[in-house]
Amino acid sequence: MLRVRKPQRAMKNYILGFIFISAAVSFVNCTTPVSDTLKKGLNTSQGNPEDTTAVITIEDFFLPQAPNNKVIFSTPGSSMKMSRHYILNDSLVIIKDSTFVEGNYQSGEIKTIQFIDNEVHLIRSESFFGKWSPKIMDYNPSQIILKLPADDDSEIWTSTDPDKGLISYSASWVEIEKDKQKLTFLRVEKSYEYTKVKEVDYNSSESGLTKSEMLTTGGASIAKLQLEGLSEVPGL
């Protein structure tokens, strides 16, 4: 059973953000109320099975604690890898992504993100490619790139990006069974107006971002990144 932990940090402002990815994902919609699974996990982790007042926050699924704050993603069948480092910086979280092909650095991105009222706000991004000067974007107002759905519910919203146009988001809970255990993931789908592609991310309470995939509008695979060391989860 997925053990969802209630954050123990005093700081409530945190992060998320990711980079490109891919392939037709098959996923399983919840057949058992996700709220039951989440409450059981929270109750067990808090050591009080009678307490149903524990509240999950967006940090649980998007700010992995050490050693999962420094991870490597790989692309099946490819030499491309991406390193990711989550760094706390006062009331913000910095995400540093670096992409490598055959061990050679290709590009990087640094995102400054803040959690406000169980929403993920992007306030700054810096993109790097080879020896070119970095492209810096400051967002004012900040962009809401993720919301935490209520139990057994979903969230739908939009934002506008100067390079990607209108971005349509949806976030929902997905429950998948593996080895007779039910694992809960937060599935986030993003559709981009200008590039006509769709990105699908899966996040867990243990490691934050677990898998990210980029699809064409027709569902064809473009690219994929998956957390290294992750055993196969059918349906993910």
Q: pLDDT tens digits for 95-152?
A: 999 999 999 999 999 999 999 988 999 999 999 998 888 999 999 999 999 899 988 7
Are the beta carbons of 38 and 55 closer than 8 angstroms?
no
Burial class (CB within 10 angstroms; exposed 0-12, middle 13-18, buried 19+) of 58: buried
Q: pLDDT tens, 56-90? A: 888 888 888 778 899 999 988 889 999 999 998 88
Cis peptide leading into 141, omega within 30 of 0?
yes
Q: What is the pTM assigned to this prediction?
A: 0.72
88-106: b (≥16 Cβ within 10 Å) or e: eeeebbbbebbbbeeeeee
Q: What is the DSSP letter of 2?
A: -
For the chain, which domains are there? 34-227 (2.40.360)
Identify the H or E element spanning 215: strand 208-216
CA dihedral 6, 48, 67, 189 (to 10 degrees): -40
Cis peptide leading into 67, omega within 30 of 0?
yes
For residue 40, what pLDDT is reported?
A: 32
